[in-house]
Amino acid sequence: MINFNYETDFSLKNEDHISNWILNTISEEAYKIEAINYVFCDDEYLHKLNVEFLNHDTLTDIISFDYSIGKLIQGDIFISVERVKDNAKDFSVSFEEELNRVIIHGVLHYCGYKDKTDSEAKVMRDKENHYLKQLV
C-alpha cells in the first residue's frame, strides 16, 4: 500500500499513476511492498526531522525511514517540495521530473541501493534514470 500525505499546500495530480509506477519498480527489483507513506512538506518541516532524527542541521530534499524486513518494503519518505523546486531550477529540469526522481530515489534506497560513494551514486542515478523512462 502506498499512501500520499500532504503537510504543505501541494498535492500530486496523478496519485494512482505514480503508485502503479512505484509498485512496478519494486516488483522489477524483486521486492514486495508492505507500506510506504510519502509525506510532502516544506523545508522547515523536513529540517526539523533532519536535526531531530539525523543530527544534520542542513536542508535536504528527502529523508527516508526504512522499516523494511528482508525483501518486504515498509517505510516513511518525507519530501520537501520547496527543495525539489529549487533543485529543479539548479539542475535545469522540470519540477515534475525532479519530483519523480526524488520519489523513486527513496524507493531505491529501500531496495538496497546506496549513494554515499561516487560509484554508489552512479549506480543510483542510472537506476533512477531507468525507472524515470518507465513513467509515461
CB within 8 A of 27, min separation 6: which ones?
none
Instruction: Give the domain extent around 6.
Output: 2-134
pLDDT at position 50, please?
84
Q: Is 17 annotated as a binding residue?
A: no
Query: What is the spatial distance between Cα 97 and Cα 84, in angstroms, rounded to a whole number?
Result: 10
130 is in an annotated binding site: no
Residue reference for cell 536535526: 51
Q: HEC states along 116-132?
A: CCHHHHHHHHHHHHHHH
- Chunked into runs of 10 residues, the chain (136 residues) has average pLDDT values of 95 95 97 97 92 83 93 97 95 96 96 93 96 92
Domain tally, the chain: 1
109 in a known ligand binding site: yes
Cβ atoms within 10 Å of 126's Cβ, excluding its own: 11
CB crowding 56-82: b at 16 or more within 10 Å, else e = eeeebbbbbeeebeeeebbbbbbbbbb
Alpha carbons 1 and 112: distance in angstroms, whole number:
19
What is the reported pLDDT for 55? 78
Largest Cα–Cα distance of the chain, in whole Å?
38
pLDDT computed for residue 59 by the predictor = 82
Instruction: Report helix, strand or coil for 16.
Output: helix
Which residues, 6 or more positions from 3, have their beta carbon under 8 angstroms from its beta carbon?
35, 36, 37, 38
Check residue 86 and give its pLDDT. Answer: 95
Q: What pTM was computed for the model?
A: 0.91
Task: Find the CATH number of the domain harbouring 65.
Answer: 3.40.390.30
